[in-house]
Structure 1
Amino acid sequence: MKKILYILLGLVLLVVVAIGVLVTVINPNDFKPLITEEVKKTTGRELVIDGDISWRFWPSLGLSVEKLQFKNPEGFAEPNLVSLDKAEMSVSVMPLLSDTLDIGLVSLYGAHVFIQTLPNGTTNLDGLTGGEEAAAPADTAGTTAPASETPQEGTTPADPATAWTIAIGGLDLVDASATVRDDKAGTVSEISTLNLNVGKLETGLWVPIEFNVQGKQNAMAFTARGTTEAMLSKDAIKSQLRKLSVSATLNDPQLTLESVSVTADQAGIAIPANIGFSVKGKANDLAFDTSGTAELLVDDTMQQIAVKGIDVATALVGSALPRPKMNVGFKGDVDYNGAVQKVSLANLVANVDELVVDGNASVVLADIPAVRFDLHSKKINVDAFLGGKEGSAPASDDNASQGEAPKPSVPAKKAPLSDVEPDLSALKGLDIAGKILIEEFIANNVEVTDVTTAFAVNRGKATLKQFDAKLYDGTIAATGSLNATTSPARYQVKKVIKNVNVQPLLKAAANEDMLSGKGNIDANLSGVGLSEKRLRAGITGTIAINFADGSVDGINIPEMIREAKATLKGKRAEYVEETKKTDFSALTATFNLGGGNASTRNLKLEAPAIRVRGEGSTNLIAETIDFDIVTSVVGTSKGQGGKDIDELNDVSIPVALGGTWQAPTYELDVKALLSNNKVLEEKARKEAERGLKKLLGDKADDDNVKQVADKLLKGLFN
C-alpha cells in the first residue's frame, strides 16, 4: 500500500516539477507574434498586446494579459473594436489529473467595446467570421490522418464534452464600458460604467450575481443596479432565478424616472414568480407614482403565459388632467395563448377615482388586433368627475355684493360654426366589438339608468348595434352607423323615445322648462360630414314628436285671446295676469330636416277651449325661428280661459313666432286677426262707429265724415 502511495506522490511531484520547469523556462510573451498572427489570419483584424503575458504556478496555473487591443478597420470613429486594460484567469492544477477543468475567477478590467454603423450600412463587425482560407486546414503533406480516417481497431476516441468536467469559479467585470453608434439612424448609445460579479458557475448550485451600470442613449441618461441568485442547468431553459432585486433611474427631457424598483421571489419555466414593482417619475407636466404586484407563470412550452392577481395603483398629478390629482387602478388576470396569439383579461376591475368599470376582455393579435369586451359599471357621473354642473354655484358679482346694481349682461357674440372635419383615420386601424352595461349614467346633468350599449368598429366602419336606456320615467332606444372610410364621413341614426317626462329632461339638459308633458320622439336621420357646420347643413331625415298632457311655458294663449277681445271692444283687458303657460292635451308635429332647415306643416296643439295649428321652419345654422301659429277657440267654457273667451267661439287668432333659439318672440297679429274673421270685423265696425258718434256727435251722420271714417275702417281691416 505504501508503495502505491509513494508512486502517486512521485507522479504528482513529477507533474509539479514539470510545470515549474515549464513556467520557469518558457516565457509566454514569446507567443505574442503567434497569437496575433493567428487572430489576423482568422478575422482579418490586428490584435495588439502592449502589456505582458504572465502566469503563476501554484496553487493554480494563472494567466494574465495586459493592454490588449483588437483593432477596427480604417474609416471608423474609434481605432479599437475591443480594448482591455487587463485580463486574468487561472486553472487549478490538481483537478486536471481527474479530467476536470476547474477554471478559477475570470477577471476583466477596463474592457471597452465600440460598435459603429456607417451611413452606408457598413459596420465594424462585418467580416469577423473569416473567409474560406482562414477556415481551411493547413497542408500538412500527409503528416496528419484525414478526418474521415477511422481509428485503429481497439481504440475509442474520447468525447471531450463528456470526458471532461468544466467548472468556472466566477466572472468579475470591472469598469467595463461600451458604445454603440449608428450613423445611419443618428443614434448613440453608451454604457459608461458596467460592473458585474458572478459567483462560481456550476450546475446545481445557486450562484450569486451582482451588477451596476450607468449610461445614456442620445439625451437619455440611465442607471441600474441589482442582485439575484441563479441556478444553472445543463438544459439552459430550466435555469432559475431567485431573490431578484433591481433598481433604476432614467432622465430624459420629456421623461424622468426618479426611481424604478422590481423584485421577484423566484423565476423560471413552470415556476410561479411573485413580482412587485414601483415607478415614480414625471412625464412633461404629469407626475406619477405607480406600484403593483402580480404572479407570473410561464409553462414548459412557453406558449402559455399567465399573470394572475394583477393589482396596480397609480397616483397622477398634473394641470392637464381633468382633475389636479387623480388615482388610477387596475386589477385582474391576464392569460396569453401563443398558439392562437390571444390575450385574455378576466376579473377586470379598472378605476379612475370614483369611476369603476369591471368585466372581461380579449385581444387576438394580428395585423389589426381584434379587441372584444363585456364591461359593466355601477355608476358613471361625468359631471362630478369633470367638476361640471353638479353642485356648482353661480359666480358672485362684486358690485352687487357692495350694494350696487349689477351691470346688464351683454350677450356674447356667437362664434361662427366650424367646418373642420374631425380626424377619424384612427378608426381604420381598429377592430373592436363589445357590450357595456351602466346602471346609472350622468352627463350634462342628464341622468340615464339601465344603459345597455353594444357597438363595433371594424376598419373604419362603426356600428351602434344597441343602445337601450331608461330616461326620466320613459325609455330610449337607438341604433346607428358611421362610415369613416369615405371623406367626409357618412352617418345614419335611428332613435325612439317613449313616454319621457319632458320638463325635467329639458331642465337638466338646457336649464329650460318651456315644455312639459309625456314625450315621444321618433327620429330617422342621416347625413354627410361631422364638422359643426356640416352636421347642421347636411343632416336629412324626419323627427316626429308627440307630447301629451303637458303645457307650453312662456306663452299664455288664452290670455292673448282676452287681449284680442279687449282690443275689439276698444278697451284694456281687465284681469289678473296669469302665469304665461298654455296647457295642452296633445302636441304633435313632424319635422323634415334638409338644406340646413327643420320645417313642419302639421304642428298641432289641442288644449282646453282652444286648438292650435301651425307651420314654419327654423334655420339650424342661423338658429332663427319663423313659425305661423293659428289658434281657434272651441265652443266650451271649461278649462283654461273659461267664459271669458266664449264670445270668441269659432274665431281664429294668428300668432307669429320669431326671434332666435336663445331669444324667441311671440306676437299677436291683430291686423290678421281682424281681416281673417268676418264676425270680429263686423263687431269691430259697430264698436268703431259707436265710438265715432260719441266723439263727433251729430257730425258723425255727415256724408263726408262717414266717407273718411269708412276709409279708416277699411285701412284697419285690409
Structure 2
Amino acid sequence: MRKLITTFAILIAVLVAGMSALVLLVNPNDFKHYMVQKVKKRSGYQLTLKGDLRWHVWPRLSILSGPISLTAPGASQPAVTADNMRLDVELLPLLSHQLHVSKVLVMHAVIQAIPDAAAKTAPAGPIAPDDKNAFSSSLGHWSLDIARVSVANSLLIWQDPQGEQLNFRDVDLSLHQDASRVGQYRLSTVLTRNQQTFSIDFEGQMDARHYPYKLAFSVDRGNYQLQGVSLPEQGVKGKTTFTAQWSPLSSAFDLTNFTLHANDSDFSGEASGTLAPALQLKLNLQSQNANFDQLLLPSQPRLQSQSTDQQNTTDDTTDITRARTPVIAEKNNRGFIDWLNQSEISSQLTANQATWHDVTIKGLEVDMHNAMGVMNLNTLSGKVDNGQFTIQGKVDFRPELATVALHTQLQRIPLQIVQPLLQIPPVLRGDISLQGDFTGQGLRGKEILTQWQGHSSVELMGLDLPQMNVQQMVIDAVTRASNRVNSDPNLHPVIPDMRGDFTLADGNLQLTRLAGENAQVSLNALGNINFTQHQLDITFNLLTRGWKGDPGMIALLANQPIPLRFYGPWNHLQYSLSVDRLLKNNLKSRLQQWLKDNDKAKHSSS
C-alpha cells in the first residue's frame, strides 16, 4: 500500500513539474497568430484576440484570453463578441507540437445573426473545400484540434426576413464533435416577445460534414414552454422530437419524424419550407387528440357561472355576454395576422378528435393554403354529435377586419352548440341543417351576424322551446275562448321538422319560408330577427289536430291557421294570440255565408 501511494505521489509530482515547466517554457501568445490564421483559413472569419493569452493550470490546463470578436468576410459588425474565452488544452500533445483543444468555452457572448454581421461574398463565388494539408509556413509545425465548444449565459440576436430582431437570452450551447464534424449538442434558451416567453431545452445529434451546403441534426429530447398574454393560464408546454435538414445558402429546411406534445394534445407529421426572403411553410400533420381550447384560447375571468339551468331567457342572455366570448379569431391578435400577411403556408391536418370552445369534433380535416394573408380554405370538415359540417371558401386577413366568402354546409348540428358560438340566447333546442353562401367582414360571432350577408336553405329538426310550449299556448287559448271543443288529453303535440329559406343582410335575418307538419300540427313561420338591435318579430301560424267536441268548430280549427306572434327585444319578449277575434271573425263569416245561401235558396224557389 505504501508503494502504491508513493507511486501516485511521484506521478503527481511529475505532472505538476511538467505543467510548471510548460508554463515557464511555452508562451501561450505563440498560439495567437496560429489560431487567427487557422480560423481564417478554415472559415474565412476574422478572429480578433485583444490582450495577452495566459495559462490557467487548475482545475484543468487552460489558456485564457481577453476580449474576442469573430467577424465574417465583408461584414460591418462582428458575428460574435465576448469578454473572454477559455481554451482547455491537453498536456501531452503540446510536447509534440500539437495544440489539442479539448474544449472552447465562451461566456456572456453576444452572437449576431443579422445582415450587418453576415458574410458578403460574390454572387457566383464558390466556397473552397477544406484543405487539411495546406497551411502557411508562418504557422510552424503546430496542428489544431477542437472537440468541444460551449457557449454559456449568452445572447443571440436574430433578425427575421421581415427585419424584426429577436433576442434569445440565456443561451447555453454545448457541442461535442469528432474529426468528421459529427457529434452531439445540447441547447437551451429563452425568447421574450410581445409579453410572451418561449423557452426550450433541446439535445440531439448533429452532422456538419456538408456545411455550409447542408446541416443535418435531430432533436432526440426536446422540452419547451410558452407563457404570457393571449395564452391559456397554464401556458403551452410539452415535448418534441424530429429530424431536420437545414440549407443555410437557400434558407430551406425539412423536418421529418416530427412529434409534438402540447398540453394534452399530440401532433405528428412532416414540415418543410424556407425562411427567406419570406416564410414558406408546408405542413402535413396528424393528431389523435387536438385540444385547441388548451392551445389557443386565452384565460379570462368568468364573472358569472353558467351552471344553473333554471334561469330564464333574460338570465341566459346576460350570462352569455359575461362569460368567455366564443370567437373564431381574436380581433386584436394582429401579431398572428401580420405573420399570415407575410407568409405562404400550406397546411393539412387530420385529427381523430379535436376540441374547440368545449365542442368535441370527430374526424377533423383541414386543408388550407395561405398566400400573404389570403387564405383559400379547401376543406374544413368534421363530425359533431350525430351531425357533420363542411366549410369551403376564402378568407382575406389583410384588411383590419378579415373579409370572407364561404360556402357552408351543416347537417344535424345541435343548436345548443351553434347559439353560444354566435352569441345569441340559447332559447332553442334541436338540430339544424343548412346549406348556403355567405360573404362579409369579421370572424367573431357578433360580426358574423351583423356584418355578413347571404342566403341559405335551412332545416330544423327535433325543435323545442324550453321556455314555452307553442302548441299548448294555442290549445289553452282556444279552450278558454270556446267551450265547444277541447283537446285530447292523451295527445302530446310535437313541433314538426321545419324546412325553409332565409336571407341575412345588415344584421337582419329574414325568414322567407319556414314550414313543417306532422300528425298533430301543421306549422309555418314568417318574420325577421334583428341581431343588431337584439329584437325579433316572428309569426307562427298553427293548425292543431286532435280536437274533440263540436264538428263545426273542429272543422274550423282544422282549416283555419291560428297566428301566434312573438315580437320585441330579446330580454323583454312579448306575444299576441288573438283566438277570440279569429273565432268571432269566422262566426261572422259563416253567418254571412249562411245568409247568402239562404237568399239564393229563396230566389231559386220563386
Query: TM-score if structure 2 supplies the norm length?
Result: 0.64
Report how far residue 355 of structure 1 moved: 1.3
> Could you tell me which residue of structure 2 aligns to residue 463 of structure 1?
376
Report how far residue 670 of structure 1 moved: 3.9
Report how far residue 663 of structure 1 moved: 5.7
> Could you tell me which residue of structure 2 aligns to residue 594 of structure 1?
505
> Could you tell me which residue of structure 1 aligns to residue 152 of structure 2?
247
SS in 2 for 1:561: helix
> Could you tell me which residue of structure 2 aligns to residue 295 of structure 1?
205
SS in 1 for 2:477: helix
> Could you tell me which residue of structure 1 aligns to residue 281 of structure 2?
371
1:482 pairs with 395, 400, 411, which one? Answer: 395
Change (3 A) 1:674 1:457: same
Matching of residues 256-335 of structure 1 within 5 Å: 260-267=171-178, 270-279=180-189, 290-300=200-210, 302-315=212-225, 321-324=231-234, 326-335=236-245
> Could you tell me which residue of structure 2 aligns to residue 502 of structure 1?
414
Q: Does 1:677 align with 2:586?
A: yes
- State how far apart, in whole Å, the 2-side matches of 1:433 and 1:426 are: 14
Amino acid at match of 1:476: F
Q: Does 1:606 align with 2:517?
A: yes
Amino acid at match of 1:247: A
- State how far apart, in whole Å, the 2-side matches of 1:489 and 1:198 are: 61
Change (3 A) 1:321 1:177: same
Amino acid at match of 1:435: Q
Q: Does 1:584 align with 2:495?
A: yes
Change (3 A) 1:610 1:452: same
- State how far apart, in whole Å, the 1-side matches of 2:542 and 2:343 are: 55
> Could you tell me which residue of structure 1 aligns to residue 345 of structure 2?
432
1:360 pairs with 270, 274, 281, which one? Answer: 270
- State how far apart, in whole Å, the 1-side matches of 2:555 and 2:245 are: 79
Q: Does 1:206 align with 2:116?
A: no
- State how far apart, in whole Å, the 1-side matches of 2:62 and 2:385 are: 74
In 1, are the aligned partners of 2:168 and 2:192 still within 8 Å (CA)? yes
Report how far residue 659 of structure 1 moved: 3.4
Matching of residues 2-13 of structure 1 within 5 Å: none
Report how far residue 452 of structure 1 moved: 0.8
Report how far residue 666 of structure 1 moved: 3.9
> Could you tell me which residue of structure 2 aligns to residue 449 of structure 1?
362
Report how far residue 447 of structure 1 moved: 1.7
> Could you tell me which residue of structure 2 aligns to residue 564 of structure 1?
477
- State how far apart, in whole Å, the 2-side matches of 1:298 and 1:622 are: 65
> Could you tell me which residue of structure 2 aligns to residue 26 of structure 1?
none
Change (3 A) 1:488 1:286: closer
Report how far residue 493 of structure 1 moved: 0.8
- State how far apart, in whole Å, the 1-side matches of 2:144 and 2:316 are: 77
Amino acid at match of 1:493: L
Greater mean alpha carbon deviation, residues 472-481 or residues 642-651:
642-651
1:519-547, Cα deviation, whole Å (9 max, x unpaired) = 42112111245687764443221121123
1:241-292, Cα deviation, whole Å (9 max, x unpaired) = 314444335699x9896x6543333255x43211123447988987776422
- State how far apart, in whole Å, the 2-side matches of 1:486 and 1:325 are: 29
Report how far residue 599 of structure 1 moved: 0.3
> Could you tell me which residue of structure 2 aligns to residue 546 of structure 1?
459
Change (3 A) 1:211 1:505: closer
> Could you tell me which residue of structure 1 aligns to residue 561 of structure 2?
652
Change (3 A) 1:195 1:299: closer
Change (3 A) 1:63 1:241: closer
SS in 2 for 1:437: strand
SS in 2 for 1:332: strand
Comparing both chains, which one has the higher relative contact order based on Cα–Cα distances under 8 Å and sequence gaps of 6 or more?
Answer: 2
> Which segments of 5 or more consecutive residues in structure 2 lack a partner in the other structure?
1-21, 32-48, 54-60, 112-129, 136-142, 158-165, 309-314, 593-606
In 2, are the aligned partners of 1:232 and 1:240 still within 8 Å (CA)? no
- Which is greater in Rg? 1
> Could you tell me which residue of structure 1 aligns to residue 117 of structure 2?
none
1:560-579, Cα deviation, whole Å (9 max, x unpaired) = 2322323323799899899x
> Could you tell me which residue of structure 1 aligns to residue 532 of structure 2?
621
Q: How many percent of aligned residue pairs carry the same amino acid?
A: 15
- State how far apart, in whole Å, the 2-side matches of 1:592 and 1:388 are: 35
Report how far residue 371 of structure 1 moved: 0.8
- State how far apart, in whole Å, the 1-side matches of 2:479 and 2:269 are: 68
- State how far apart, in whole Å, the 2-side matches of 1:435 and 1:360 are: 10
In 1, are the aligned partners of 2:511 and 2:528 still within 8 Å (CA)? yes
- State how far apart, in whole Å, the 2-side matches of 1:263 and 1:618 are: 65
SS in 1 for 2:147: strand
- State how far apart, in whole Å, the 1-side matches of 2:237 and 2:338 are: 31
Change (3 A) 1:421 1:302: closer
Greater mean alpha carbon deviation, residues 647-656 or residues 313-322:
313-322
Report how far residue 464 of structure 1 moved: 0.4
Amino acid at match of 2:539: D
SS in 2 for 1:482: strand
- State how far apart, in whole Å, the 2-side matches of 1:590 and 1:533 are: 21
Q: Does 1:516 align with 2:516?
A: no
- State how far apart, in whole Å, the 1-side matches of 2:307 and 2:397 are: 46
> Could you tell me which residue of structure 1 aligns to residue 34 of structure 2?
none
RMSD: 5.3
> Could you tell me which residue of structure 2 aligns to residue 156 of structure 1?
none
Report how far residue 307 of structure 1 moved: 0.8
In 2, are the aligned partners of 1:656 and 1:669 still within 8 Å (CA)? no
Greater mean alpha carbon deviation, residues 614-623 or residues 562-571:
562-571
Greater mean alpha carbon deviation, residues 567-576 or residues 347-356:
567-576
Q: Does 1:344 align with 2:254?
A: yes
Report how far residue 458 of structure 1 moved: 0.5
Report how far residue 348 of structure 1 moved: 0.7
* Alignment: residue pair count: 485
Report how far residue 356 of structure 1 moved: 1.2
SS in 2 for 1:303: coil
Change (3 A) 1:373 1:663: farther
Query: TM-score if structure 1 supplies the norm length?
Result: 0.55
- State how far apart, in whole Å, the 2-side matches of 1:282 and 1:413 are: 34
Change (3 A) 1:201 1:496: farther
- State how far apart, in whole Å, the 2-side matches of 1:482 and 1:507 are: 23
- State how far apart, in whole Å, the 2-side matches of 1:533 and 1:513 are: 17
In 2, are the aligned partners of 1:194 and 1:214 still within 8 Å (CA)? no
SS in 1 for 2:473: helix
Report how far residue 344 of structure 1 moved: 0.6
- State how far apart, in whole Å, the 2-side matches of 1:204 and 1:88 are: 15
1:161-218, Cα deviation, whole Å (9 max, x unpaired) = xxxxxxxxx99555558999xxxx999x98555666767598876345555655789x
Amino acid at match of 2:223: A
- State how far apart, in whole Å, the 2-side matches of 1:484 and 1:286 are: 23
Change (3 A) 1:554 1:682: farther
